[in-house]
């Protein structure tokens, strides 16, 4: 069985784009300042791990960090994880055996097989979160796979982290917190789940309205080779043009300095790994 991955343009070295975006106009990046703050918080919460950006809603976060961290040791720690585990009217039930086999093949190709999770740095999943359903289903798939492979769960459970980007709202003792409703959260150390808040309107833009460069990688296309073909329709070109601008913004000294300054406010700045990253961004 071969892994299937949706096509993704290389925006760090975008020579392959050619004239694809020559006539595409993109509005200003109205979300940039909020995205920079969110990116700094995600870095500060990642525990010196490998970051996997789940699905399409965090594409802009991945793009900004790809630009900002280009040329640093951290550039190899950013991994897009094209994956949708959302329920739909056509697909409400549990995953079939064939779907699980293909999903495991795809995850293994991304470095997420049980053997991979046992070694090296922590594995950190990052996604926009409302109710936490995607994280819960992803965790369930990994947990069963770990059992099937007889991998060392006592080791892996200390290596898994989930960073949920939530829409900012007023806090109170009764505020809904997705991890309090997620059964899997009780199987992990308290430090394994972290939240980063983002302006509610921008959160909704990324999750509900932003054009994307690729189609949603749902269960019905996990095994479809056509998913690996690039999109060139109007909406995809708009999304690609915006993504190019986000990467370019991330590469500017101004954005790198902003990130560096924000990292000094993170509690983890007392740890060597974050101090070294902060210095790399500031210079």
Q: Once rounded to an integer, what is the mean pLDDT over residues 197-218?
A: 95
What are the sequence ranges of the domains in the chain?
A: 29-282
| Residue 245 reports pLDDT greater than 80 | yes
* Average confidence score pLDDT of the chain: 92
| C-alpha dihedral (13, 230, 129, 254), degrees to nearest 10 | 20
pLDDT class for 27, splitting at 50, 70, 90?
confident
For 47-68, the pLDDT digits (tens) are 999 999 999 999 999 999 999 9
CA 30 to chain centre: 21
Sheet holding 50-54, edge to edge: 78-81, 50-54, 123-128, 160-167, 193-198
What is the average per-residue pLDDT within 248-258?
A: 98
Minimum mean pLDDT among 2-11, 17-26, 189-198: which range? 17-26
Burial 82-113 (b: 16+ CB within 10 A, else e): bbbbeeeeeeeeebeeebbebbbbbbbebebb
Instruction: Please check the confidence at residue 180 and state whether its pLDDT lies above 80.
Output: no
For 28, which DSSP code?
Answer: -
Tokens of 219: 């269960």
The predicted model scores a pTM of 0.94
| Residue whose structure tokens are 């999304």 | 239
Looking at residue 86, its pLDDT comes to 74
């Amino acid at each position: 069985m071969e892994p299937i991955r949706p096509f993704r343009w290389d925006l760090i070295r975008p020579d392959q784009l050619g004239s694809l975006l020559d006539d595409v106009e993109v509005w200003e990046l109205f979300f940039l300042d909020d995205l920079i703050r969110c990116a700094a918080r995600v870095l500060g919460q990642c525990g010196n791990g490998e970051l996997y950006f789940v699905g399409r809603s965090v594409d802009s976060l991945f793009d900004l960090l790809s630009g900002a961290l280009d040329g640093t040791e951290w550039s190899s720690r950013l991994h897009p994880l094209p994956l949708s585990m959302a329920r739909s009217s056509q697909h409400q039930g549990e995953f079939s055996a064939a779907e699980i086999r293909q999903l495991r093949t795809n995850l293994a190709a991304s470095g997420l097989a049980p053997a991979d999770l046992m070694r090296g740095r922590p594995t950190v999943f990052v996604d926009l979160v409302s109710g936490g359903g995607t994280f819960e289903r992803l965790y369930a798939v990994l947990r069963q796979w770990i059992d099937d492979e007889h991998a060392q769960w006592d080791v892996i459970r200390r290596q898994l982290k989930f960073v949920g980007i939530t829409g900012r709202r007023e806090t109170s003792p009764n505020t809904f917190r997705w991890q309090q409703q997620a059964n899997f959260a009780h199987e992990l150390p308290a430090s394994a789940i972290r939240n980063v808040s983002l302006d509610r309107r921008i959160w909704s833009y990324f999750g509900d309205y932003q054009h994307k460069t690729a189609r949603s990688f749902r269960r019905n296309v996990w095994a479809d080779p056509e998913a690996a073909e690039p999109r060139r329709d109007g909406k995809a070109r708009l999304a690609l043009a915006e993504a190019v601008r986000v990467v370019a913004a991330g590469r500017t000294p101004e954005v790198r300095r902003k990130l560096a300054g924000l990292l000094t406010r993170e509690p983890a700045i007392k740890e060597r790994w974050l101090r070294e990253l902060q210095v790399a961004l500031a210079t």
